[in-house]
Each structure stands twice: as C-alpha cells, then as structure tokens.
C-alpha cells in the first residue's frame, strides 16, 4: 500500500527503511530529516496506547483541508519518532492547533515565520521527561523533539503545508522543525500556566502559542523588579513584529527562573507583571518608518482613531493577551515570543 503524495493517511509498506525514507523525502512527506517508517505495527502500537478510535476525526486541517483522524496523526507521530506514550500529547496538541481561535489557516499560509510553540504543563511534563530547563527550546531531549516534530509533520502531510506553494513563509524559522518545551513549574513563583487557565494542578495540558520567533532578553544586571521590568518592557517593544503592528493575538513572555525569582521575591503577581508590561512596553509612533506607519494606521485603526507622532503604541491592545510563563535553566536570559494576528493561544488537557 502506498500513501498519496498529497496526504499521508495510509500506512506505508516498503521493502526497506531506506527505500521508504527516500520515497518519503521525494514525495515531500518529511521535513528533510530522516523519518521512522510508519509500519502497521508501529502505527497500531501508537493508536492502541490510547482508547481513541482510529477513524475518529479531530478536525479538518487547512489549507489543504486534510482529515486529521487519530490514525493520520498516528502515522505522522511515528514518522516523527514518537513512542506510544507521546501520542496522547500529540493528539491534544493537534486539537489545540485545530481550535478556530488558533487561526491555523493563517499560520499555515502566511508570509510570517510563525509556527506553533507547544508548552507542556502538569505531571506529563515530568513523567515523559520533557525539558523545561537548560536549552528547553533547543535540541537534545526526545520528548520535546518528537512531539514538536509530530505536530509539524501533521501540518505538512495532513494540512498540506508546502514551502512556496501553500506555506508562503518568506523565510520560515528553525522552530518549524519542532518547537516544544515544558513550563518549569518548580522554578516559578506563580501558579502554573495551566492552572491560570482553569485546569486543576493534577491535570496535564498542552498550550499552543503562535510563535512569530523567539527574541532573547538579556539582563544580568538587574537586582530589583523595577529594573528588570524595565528591561523586559524595552525588550518586548520592538518595531517590526506582527504583534505591535497589528496588535492581535497573544504574546508569550518566557521568563527564565532567575528573572522570575526577582519578580516573585518582591511580591509581584503575574497579572501585575502583565499590566506593567502593557503600560510600559510602548513605542512612540515616530519610532516606526513612514511605510510601517501607513500600515499601522490601517491595521490598528480599531484601537486608535487618531494617531500622532507622539502616540504611544502598546505591544498588544489588552494586557490579558500577554502570557507570562517560566522556563529555562540558570542564567539571566528570558525569551519573548511575539505572536501572530487574528488568533490566540489555545490549551487542551492531555487525556
């Protein structure tokens, strides 16, 4: 049995792994890296790990409108290198990105480099050894790599995202191979992100952020919350992100534990941090080029009836759309993930 070039929904059976690997690459089913052949045995093991019906449809994945069945997702999960225990997380992640709030159609087709950034919360993060510490956005941890990659392969093979054809990202970004990490809950002075969004502490969840990119915010020098917050605000207020020009969607500030500790020891709540950043991560309209100003006048006209050179633009219209989480190891390097537009982060429980 062979899979259709447009949609890899069928289990494939080739004489050798090398033969499958070459065929998969030539048919555009891979991200360029080697894949695990999705043999009936491997796919069956993954599906059977859950109590889900293989023909259950999670949704229709744009822009190709492929049917994201449990079976189709399992095929891509196996190709990505997932073991059966990773599959419930992949399923929850696919449900999160298929939520209309996430605007997957826009993310798949846009010229922006945006891609889903998946964050794991709860017991699953430790049980499956997701990396929430040093290099959590980087390589070297199986769970982070295979779950993030599985979602990207689903977007490619079920949603039919093909560079230059349907995925029109001008430059893309490395996160389009895999972008998955866990929140460093033990190092956070606040409740986990999942609890903030209404889940009990014992629940495991996956959150999908719209990741325009990761921007590093370096501040080794700040010893007080006031000083650090000024750094964070100025680091987030940059002129050429979707976030500030269009002001839609969620932004994610991924605080490193050392930075989070400074804020926590002075008693700052997460909401207070968000409100401060909303009120202080501002750019005057005069900071933007003439060309970008004309775009902002159009795109943010719902927020500003009158804009002058002195108008201060916040990075997003509503402070609640600044998401603050904690991840990483020791050091004073936080990350800012500017969002996309016309969509928001979504969260699903892993069952």
Partner 1 sequence: MILATEPFLGMARVVAESLDYPDARIVAVEHPIGGIDDQTLEGKVRSAAGQIADAFLGLGRGSE
**Given the rule CB under 8 A, which residues bind partner 1?**
62-65, 109, 160, 164-166, 168, 291
> Is the CB of 263 or the CB of 341 nearer to partner 1?
341
Min dist CB 164 to partner 1, Å, is 7
In whole angstroms, give the CA distance from residue 115 to residue 55. Answer: 27
- Tell me which residue of 174, 328, 307, 176 sits closest to 247, measured CA to CA: 307
Class of residue 350 by CB neighbours under 10 A (exposed 0-12, middle 13-18, buried 19+): buried
Structure tokens at 23: 């065929």
Q: What are phi and psi of 306, to 5 degrees?
A: -130, 125
Min dist CB 338 to partner 1, Å, is 20
- Tell me which residue of 327, 87, 4, 24 sits closest to 183, measured CA to CA: 327
> Is the CB of 168 or the CB of 215 nearer to partner 1?
168
Min dist CB 29 to partner 1, Å, is 17
> Is the CB of 64 or the CB of 133 nearer to partner 1?
64
CB atoms within 10 A of CB 48: 13
> Is the CB of 148 or the CB of 159 nearer to partner 1?
159
- Tell me which residue of 236, 222, 161, 172 sits closest to 8, measured CA to CA: 161
∠ CA 316-320-321, rounded to 5°: 45
Min dist CB 302 to partner 1, Å, is 22
Min dist CB 62 to partner 1, Å, is 7
Min dist CB 108 to partner 1, Å, is 10
| Contact yes or no for 342/103 (Cβ under 8 A) | yes
> Is the CB of 218 or the CB of 295 nearer to partner 1?
295
Structure tokens at 84: 């059966």
> Is the CB of 56 or the CB of 165 nearer to partner 1?
165
Min dist CB 160 to partner 1, Å, is 7
> Is the CB of 291 or the CB of 302 nearer to partner 1?
291
| Contact yes or no for 279/323 (Cβ under 8 A) | no
| Contact yes or no for 181/132 (Cβ under 8 A) | yes
């Amino acid at each position: 049995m062979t899979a259709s070039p447009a949609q890899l929904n069928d289990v494939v059976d080739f004489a050798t792994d090398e033969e499958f690997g070459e065929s998969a690459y030539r048919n555009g089913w891979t991200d360029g890296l080697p894949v695990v052949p999705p043999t009936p045995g491997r796919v069956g093991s993954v599906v059977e790990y859950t109590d889900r019906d293989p023909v259950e449809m999670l949704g229709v994945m744009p822009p190709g409108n492929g049917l994201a069945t449990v079976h189709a997702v399992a095929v891509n999960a196996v190709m990505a290198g997932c073991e059966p225990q990773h599959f419930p997380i992949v399923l929850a992640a696919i449900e999160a990105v298929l939520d209309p709030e996430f605007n997957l159609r826009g993310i798949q087709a846009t010229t922006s480099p945006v891609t889903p950034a998946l964050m794991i919360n709860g017991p699953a993060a430790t049980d499956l050894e997701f990396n929430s510490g040093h290099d959590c956005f980087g390589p070297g941890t199986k769970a982070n790599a295979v779950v993030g990659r599985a979602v990207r392969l689903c977007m490619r093979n079920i949603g039919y995202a093909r560079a230059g054809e349907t995925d029109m990202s001008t430059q893309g970004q490395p996160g389009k191979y895999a972008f998955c990490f866990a929140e460093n809950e033990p190092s956070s002075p606040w409740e986990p992100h999942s609890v903030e969004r209404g889940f009990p502490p014992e629940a495991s969840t996956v959150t999908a952020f719209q990741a325009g990119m990761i921007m590093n915010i370096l501040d080794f020098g700040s010893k007080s919350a006031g000083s650090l917050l000024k750094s964070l605000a100025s680091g987030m207020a940059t002129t050429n992100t979707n976030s500030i020009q269009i002001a839609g969607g969620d932004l994610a500030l991924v605080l490193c534990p050392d930075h989070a500790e400074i804020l926590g020891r002075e008693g700052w709540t997460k909401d207070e941090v968000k409100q401060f950043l909303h009120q202080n991560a501002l750019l005057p309209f005069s900071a933007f080029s003439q060309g970008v100003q004309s775009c902002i006048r159009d795109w943010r006209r719902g927020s500003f009836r009158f804009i002058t050179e002195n108008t201060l633009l916040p990075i997003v219209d509503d402070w609640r759309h600044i998401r603050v989480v904690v991840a990483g190891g020791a050091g004073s390097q936080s990350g800012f993930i500017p969002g996309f537009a016309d969509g928001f982060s979504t969260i699903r429980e892993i069952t």
